[in-house]
């Protein structure tokens, strides 16, 4: 028996050429995927439904699913969480079979369902009048496997020519998709580790040591109290869970109100609210208010397991900071430095001495009064600064 000729002409040759030469200016794989499906229909392949499943490196999501069906101009995007592999939607699916090493899943949807694969997806496709379904791995470099599926409502399903045409697309689609996905992964990883604004600057080429810009911003530094005692006495996994819950309570309000977390420092965090944004200082205090409520809710949950409440301190100042690359010749950190950052850090440390959770400098307080109720706590010596600093407490 002769091997199939992979170079033989197929209905999809024009689509292959478009993928190769016509997508250079397309940034997003979901747009390319939807256009590919439409073009396949236009050349006579009876495509009714198609999905592309991609594994991604994201702290919250295992992957993403792009779904196209007849009549759609754009693909529908759904994120898939890490727990999906424990659920019925995954168990017994084509994705499950591919994960276990299958190189093709083909299901005749016209035959008696009792003779076919048992999964809710196949029942749903039968109800929609689909007759044939095929899934293949989409190979990327270094052994990474993703998944693409095609389905039709043509009586008798896909014929041999349709299958040959679809298979011919796969190597080119693999290359085209890998480029876009790796670009997205690079952005996702940068956003995860350095924040969205710093990620944009780095991707735009701000990677040289010493490069940066001066930014006027409100600076917020938060630190967890008694963490050394906690980490010495609690099991390791409990400490990690505690830190993650604490950072969720603090971080989500900051992001929601336009702040950017530049780094986590052990049990502390550094965030800025650039003043070019309207109401940046007010937004910082709104974030602090919401974080306080989130921490109160977290402490209430922890009390049910007899854990002591978590306490924290926040120092807030405003001023000019240098925002850019600092570090060794081969290992850089994108961060902020300057006297304003030092001041916020010193105020956070003073929260312990003065018995206040949130301390604000006079410079910051002047930008939010009288919109917020602040408590004047007098002038205090601040380490590293020659003159006493007038401080305010905020209860939220």
DSSP codes of every residue in 98-116: HHTT-S-EEEETTS-GGGS
**How confident is the model at residue 51, as a pLDDT?**
97
> DSSP assignment, residue 310?
P
270 near 381, Cβ under 8 Å?
no
pLDDT digits (tens, 9 = 90+) for 61-91: 888 999 999 999 999 999 898 899 999 999 9
CA triplet 184, 185, 186: central angle to 5 degrees?
Answer: 90
Q: What is the pLDDT of residue 5?
A: 56
Parse the chain into domains and list their residue ranges.
13-193, 195-394
In tens, the pLDDT along 297-348 reads 999 998 888 777 889 999 999 999 987 877 887 777 778 888 999 999 999 9
pLDDT classification of 1: cutoffs 50, 70, 90: very low
Q: How far apart are CA 131 and CA 113, in angstroms?
A: 12
Q: Mind listing the pLDDT tens digit for each residue in 160-169?
A: 999 999 999 9
Average pLDDT over the chain, rounded to an integer: 90
Structure tokens at 242: 């505690």
pLDDT surpassing 50 at residue 2:
no
Quick one: how far is CA 20 from the chain centroid?
A: 29
Distances (CA, A) of 225 to 312, 376, 395: 5, 23, 18
pLDDT of amino acid 10: 86
Beta bridge partners of 100: none
Cα–Cα distances in angstroms (integers) from residue 304 to residues 226, 249, 295, 301, in the given order: 20, 18, 15, 6
- Take residue 355 and report the two structure tokens written for it: 């018995």
Checking 278-282 for CB contacts under 8 A at 24+ apart, the result is 280/217, 280/218, 281/218, 281/318, 281/364, 281/367, 281/368, 282/368, 282/371, 282/372
How many CB atoms are located within 10 Å of the residue 37 CB? 24
Beta bridge partners of 393: 359, 375
Residue 52 pLDDT > 90, yes or no? yes
pLDDT at 4: 47
DSSP for 358-369 reads EEEEHHHHHHHT
Which tops the pLDDT comparison, 311 or 230?
Answer: 311
Specify the 3-state DSSP secondary structure of 7: coil
| Confidence check: pLDDT of 245 > 70 | yes
Name the percent of the chain lying above pLDDT 90: 64
Radius of gyration of the chain (CA): 28
Bridge partners of 318, per DSSP, are 218
Architecture of the domain delimited by 195-394: 2-Layer Sandwich (3.30)
- On the question of a common fold for 13-193 and 195-394, the answer reads no
Q: Which residue from 375, 302, 367, 316 is spatially nearest to 345, judged by alpha carbons?
A: 316
Which CATH number applies to 13-193? Answer: 3.30.450.40
**Per-residue pLDDT, 6:** 60
pLDDT in tens, 255-294: 999 999 988 888 899 999 999 998 999 999 999 999 999 9
Question: What would the DSSP string read from start to end of 56-93?
Answer: ---SSEEEEEEEEETT-SS-EEEEEEGGGGGSTTTTTS
For residue 358, CA distances in Å to 212, 229, 311, 377 come to: 30, 22, 11, 11
Question: Left (φ > 0), alpha (ψ -120 to 50) or beta: where does 32 sit?
Answer: alpha
Task: Give the whole-angstrom CA distance, residue 344 versus residue 339.
Answer: 9
Question: What percent of the chain has pLDDT above 70?
Answer: 97
Of 367, 349, 364, 362, nearest in space to 388 by CA:
362
CA–CA distance, 82 with 59 (Å, rounded to integer): 9
pLDDT at 331: 79
Note if the pTM is more than 0.75. no
Structure tokens at 123: 């029942």
């Amino acid at each position: 028996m002769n091997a199939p000729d992979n170079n033989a002409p197929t209905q999809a040759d024009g689509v292959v050429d478009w993928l190769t030469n016509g997508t250079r200016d397309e940034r997003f794989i979901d747009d390319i995927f939807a256009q590919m499906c439409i073009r396949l229909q236009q050349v006579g392949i009876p495509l009714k439904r198609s999905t592309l499943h991609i594994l991604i490196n994201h702290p919250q999501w295992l992957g993403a699913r792009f779904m196209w069906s007849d009549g759609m101009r754009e693909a529908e995007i759904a994120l898939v969480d890490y727990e999906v592999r424990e659920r019925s939607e995954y168990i017994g699916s084509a994705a499950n079979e591919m994960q276990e090493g299958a190189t093709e899943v083909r299901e005749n949807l016209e035959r008696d369902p009792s003779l076919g694969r048992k999964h809710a997806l196949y029942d749903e496709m039968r109800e929609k009048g689909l007759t044939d379904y095929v899934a293949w791995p989409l190979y990327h470099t270094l052994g990474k496997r993703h998944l693409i599926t095609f389905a039709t409502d043509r009586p008798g399903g896909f014929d041999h020519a349709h299958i040959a045409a679809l298979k011919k697309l796969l190597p080119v689609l693999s290359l085209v998709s890998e480029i876009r996905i790796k670009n997205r992964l690079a952005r996702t990883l940068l956003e995860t580790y350095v924040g969205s604004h710093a990620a944009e600057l780095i991707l735009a080429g701000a990677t040289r040591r010493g490069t940066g810009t001066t930014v006027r911003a409100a600076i917020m530094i938060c630190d967890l109290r008694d963490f050394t005692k906690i980490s010495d006495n609690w099991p390791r996994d409990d400490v990690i869970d505690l830190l993650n819950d604490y950072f969720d309570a603090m971080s989500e309000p900051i992001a929601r109100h336009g702040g950017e977390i530049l780094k986590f420092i052990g049990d502390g965090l550094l965030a800025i609210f650039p003043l070019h944004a309207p109401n940046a200082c007010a937004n910082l205090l709104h974030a602090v208010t919401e974080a306080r409520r989130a921490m109160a809710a977290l402490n209430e949950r922890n009390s049910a397991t007899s854990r002591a409440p978590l306490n924290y301190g926040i120092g807030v100042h405003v001023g000019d900071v240098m925002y850019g690359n600092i570090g060794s010749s081969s290992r850089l950190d994108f961060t902020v430095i300057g006297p304003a950052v030092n001041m916020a850090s010193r105020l956070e440390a003073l929260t312990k001495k003065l018995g206040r959770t949130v301390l604000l400098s006079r410079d910051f307080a002047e930008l939010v009064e009288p919109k917020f109720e602040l408590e004047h706590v007098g002038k205090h010596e601040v380490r590293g600064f020659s003159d006493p600093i007038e401080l305010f407490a905020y209860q939220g």
